[in-house]
Amino acid sequence: MQPLGTSRRQASETRVEHDSMGEVQVPLHALWGAQTQRSYENFPIGSEKMPREIISAFAQVKKAAARANCRLGKLDSHSCELICQAADEVLAGDWEEMFPLAVWQTGSGTQSNMNMNEVLANRVNQLAGERIAHPNDTINMSQSSNDTFPTALHVAATLALRRRLLPAAGHLCDVLRRLEQENQGVVKCGRTHLQDAVPIAFSQEISGWRGLVEGSCEEIEKSMAFLHRLALGGTAVGTGLNAPSGFAEEVTAQLAELTGEPFVSDPNKFRALTGKDAVVFSHGAVKALAANMMKIANDVRWLASGPRLGLGEITIPANEPGSSIMPGKVNPTQCEAVTMVAIQVMGNDATIGFAASQGNFELNVFMPVIAYDFLQSVRLLSDAIMSFTDRCVVGIKANRHQMDENLHRSLMLVTCLSPEIGYEHAAAVAKKAFKEGTSLREACVSLGYLSAERFDEIFHPERMV
């Protein structure tokens, strides 16, 4: 379906559109207009495009704005209905190829806002069969790029956390909870500083992993309260110029209804336009989850190390050959994927922090890269957690024989003797046993600290958990 041209048709491949700077050749099939085309031509930088999540959030913003403008008497109901229909088509993914702009564009995201305005205006005109919508006057009514982009950023971030990351983390917690139940009563050696420590139940160790994920989810949930505050209604510099009275509250209510999230109008639009601290704070919680996933993945691959010359206390699924030269080798590849994603998220966090510090005067002009990195972090971490859970964690099996053998060879079991013989004597027992390669029982009895019978009465590793 071809959009309506604004002047003459050129050959069979392009049409001429115009904006305030003059005429521009636009592909004939494109729903976008002159400003999108200028951005497409002026920023041939990299392969990173504006994230799909931002495009969807913009469509929701425009739909909410149309409804608000209609309720406030600024927009007729017929135009509102067609704008909502066109926005719904974008949300359904019908026009993905019509949003071709690079992340590396104007730092305000103006051209992405205009990309959406132009696509919706042309689509509305197609649906109406006549020219009733203008990108600026109709679709962008009561708005500015300066308040719509930060709003789209908050909406996209909120929905990505709610619909992708939190469910993925919740799925991991469910699997870990099952593993806890399956490993009740299994006692193994604990480790601190990568050295032998006192015993721990394997179910307790797993519960620690689950607690790390659940704690991060709680932090993410709390951070979303700040993402729920929206800049929409502040227009160009926060004053609300050209927006009708009550627009900020009405459009935010519409967005809340459309998304199911408790969005509210930020009470300080000047802060909302220039400050990106809410995104920094929320991504910090995402980074915390990434850090915890790094720890869990490392624990799993350490415990599974071997199969003969490592710890070998658990087995994990063998998903693919691990070497092109060593036959039979299998590696903890899901753990490696998680750890690579974790450091990518940490790098993104540094970029977001630097970008957020650049809110000069009434606007931050690093918003596209903030949006790209935040959403990449959420997307990667969500996918990595799901893959790690379904291809590794579900298949974790305790090697009970190896756990028991390692436990009874641990010198730190001597800790249970401290209340009976004192710290210094217990240390002497451990050092003697290590030096001579004997058991703690033999060392303790030979030093004369306890009789063999008394040692056996006290020494029960399984009770130390």
Q: Is 77 a catalytic residue?
A: no
Write the DSSP string, 191-224: EETTEEEEEEEHHHHHHHHHHHHHHHHHHHHHHH
Q: Is 29 a catalytic residue?
A: no
Nearest residue to 26 (alpha-carbon basis) of 49, 10, 45, 47: 10
Report the run of H or E that residue 16 belongs to, with start and end. Answer: strand 14-19
Please provide the distance, in angstroms rounded to a whole number, between the alpha carbons at the two ends of the chain. 70
DSSP 354: H
Distance between CA atoms of 415 and 432, rounded to whole angstroms?
15
**Residues constituting the chain:** 465
The answer to whether the CB of 252 falls within 8 A of the CB of 264 is yes
Distance of CA 369 to the CA centre of its chain: 15
Q: What are the E-state strand segments in 76-210?
A: 187-192, 195-201
Catalytic residue selected from 7, 29, 323, 460: 323
What sign does the CA torsion over 51, 102, 8, 135 have?
Answer: positive
What sign does the CA torsion over 202, 205, 209, 215 have?
Answer: positive
3-state secondary structure of 416: helix
Distance between CA atoms of 136 and 9, rounded to whole angstroms?
23
Nearest residue to 414 (alpha-carbon basis) of 385, 439, 378: 439
Catalytic residue selected from 20, 47, 77, 193: 193
In sequence order, what are the beta bridge partners of 82? none
Write the DSSP string, 294-331: HHHHHHHHHHT--SSSS---EE----S---SSSTT---
Phi, psi (5° rounding) for residue 361?
55, -120
User: Which residues carry out catalysis?
Assistant: 193, 323
